[in-house]
């Protein structure tokens, strides 16, 4: 026999983009997801960071980082 569980998920995301000069663009963000399972609440913070450097008009170098989470179903 199995026991039924009720689960809901919700998430919010905020980000900020900053260009210290014409060659650099930096973007930082945070997503926070929440899972509500029966009487418990779980949170996973998911930070993001990216940088873009354009030394010339038709060139760009990009670097990014993100941490992602997934709840077990």
Q: What is the pLDDT of residues 50-71, one digit of tens each?
A: 999 999 989 999 999 999 998 8
- What span, in angstroms and rounded, lies between the C-alpha atoms of 16 and 22? 17
Q: Of all residues in the chain, what percent carry a pLDDT higher than 70? A: 97
The pair of structure tokens assigned to 26 is 């930096």
Q: Given this model, what pLDDT does residue 3 score?
A: 79
H helix or E strand, kind and range, residue 7: strand 7-18
pLDDT at 1 over 60: no
């Amino acid at each position: 026999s199995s026991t039924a569980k009720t689960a809901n998920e919700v998430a919010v995301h905020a980000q900020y983009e900053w260009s210290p000069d014409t060659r650099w663009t930096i973007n930082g963000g945070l997503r926070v997801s929440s899972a509500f399972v029966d009487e418990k609440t779980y949170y996973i913070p998911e930070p993001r960071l990216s940088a873009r450097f354009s030394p010339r008009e038709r060139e760009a170098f990009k670097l990014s980082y993100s941490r992602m989470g997934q709840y077990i179903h």
